[in-house]
Amino acid sequence: MNDILPSESAKWEWLEDKVRNLMARFAYRNTRLPIVESTALFVRGLGEVTDIVEKEMYSFEDRADKHGQAEHLTLRPEGTAGLVRAVVEHNMLYEGGKRLYYMGPMFRREKPQRGRYRQFHQIGAEALGFPGAEVDAELILLAHSLWQEIGLQNVELQLNSLGQPEERKAHRAALIEYLEKNVDQLDEDARRRLYSNPLRILDTKNPAMQDLVNAAPRLFDFLGEASLKHFDAVKAILDANGVKWTLNTRLVRGMDYYNLTVFEFVTTQLGSQGTICGGGRYDYLIEQVGGKPAPAVGWALGVERVLELLKEQEQSTPDLVPDAYAIVPDAGTLPTVMAALQTLRVAGVSVQMHTPTTAGEGMGSMKSQFKKADASGARFGLIFGADEMARGAVTVKSLRDGDGQQVEQQLASIDQWAATLRVAG
């Protein structure tokens, strides 16, 4: 788990602002979910034999109540199960489908890698109550639009369909039969999953098993007419919008709750952690967690991975710097100066005021203050010198233009010129 310091958090705020703006344009509304949920929610929702439930969850027993009963709780390892629980608990689908999104930390006890920590952050978008393929496509277009908004390049969209339960059941039987005939080639993890979750064997990262996996029966070949029609509708909408995609028949995702469309946005620039966003349709999860049967589809992206990929591609992300830095030679003028700065801030101007870091040292020389103003990244210096104060004015000096142009402005008309600082920023 790691700290996100101010030098990095500006990039996070920038990305989050982009997401909020885009979600609003797609009519997705924010939902804020608890970090701690009942362990049973994830066991029931994700699947008892998934890696997350078996190996990675941070679970603990709460203090016993007055009856001696203790609840088993878990730090959320992902967001979909908690969101579905909230939708069911608050009967949110009573008036029709909902488009929702969330942001926040998730927790998995796994080996830290590039762009992945045990506390990591996800942004998720979920559409609940809508059965149509057009909503699958809408969510993919939403993610695709985000990559365009932030300048992310070389991200490949991979698609697959997992069909419906009966189709998966038929494929499961064929897959188990195939793997039983080749059991000597299975690693320990695959043998353990042979009968409990054989589909996950197809997602192995073991190089020694790749030829075996590539020759295994494909779920895609077991899909019926309705499942293929749904998948074709998704592809047609993506094609109409110029979104390139690749069919990956081995794409199964890591949770048991998926059906029909599944997808991932992947990159080759982050080593083994190539997936930056993934999701799919989960039409049976709402019923599994106790709600009335209802369709749903969604995705989640890894914030750390997206920012790491932007860095790898040398895409510029803005630093959070003030519009102006106030240079104040005389502490006696602070009441007047700070009143002026408050007016600027109310007008939307970001202002940092020079402040001594050692008691009794005074405000410091003009030279030292200008150095700090330059180091702050501010675009303008506001000089509240003795001469300016005598005239009820401030000198506005450009700190980023080569000529260092400066003009004097009257404090009495600060509302009229404040916008020039903000607009220039």
Q: Residue ranges of the domains in the chain? A: 6-163+245-312, 166-222, 324-424
Token output for 289: 């967690």
Alpha carbon 172 to its chain's center: 33
Q: 324-424 domain in CATH 3.40.50.1820?
A: no
Rounded to an integer, what distance in angstroms lies between the CA atom of residue 37 and that of residue 33?
A: 9
SS3 category, 317: coil
Token output for 247: 């069919």
Element (H, E) at 141: helix 133-150
Residue whose tokens read 């009856």: 67
Rounded to an integer, what distance in angstroms lies between the CA atom of residue 383 and that of residue 405?
A: 13
Are 122 and 302 in contact by the 8 Å Cβ rule? The answer is yes
Q: Which pLDDT value is given to residue 273?
A: 67
SS3 category, 294: coil
Element (H, E) at 398: strand 393-398
Mean pLDDT, consecutive 10-residue segments, the chain of 425 residues?
87 95 97 92 72 79 80 91 94 95 92 77 96 97 96 94 91 91 89 84 84 89 95 97 93 77 92 86 91 95 93 83 91 91 92 80 84 91 92 91 82 88 62
C-alpha dist (Å) from residue 22 to 103, 148, 340, 385: 14, 11, 35, 45
Closest CA to 252 of 301, 303, 197, 300: 197
SS (H, E, C) 174-241: HHHHHHHHCHHHCCHHHHHHCCCCHHHHHHCCCHHHHHHHHCCCCHHHHCCHHHHHHHHHHHHHHHHC
β-strand pairing of 380-383 with 156-161: unpaired
β-strand pairing of 393-398 with 406-410: antiparallel
Q: Which amino acid is at 46?
A: L
Q: Which pLDDT value is given to residue 425?
A: 45
Q: Which pLDDT value is given to residue 49?
A: 57
pLDDT in tens, 10-63: 899 999 999 999 999 999 999 999 999 998 888 876 766 566 777 788 888 888
Q: Which pLDDT value is given to residue 258?
A: 86
CATH classification for the domain delimited by 6-163+245-312, as one of 2.40.50.100, 3.40.50.300, 3.90.1640.10, 3.30.930.10: 3.30.930.10
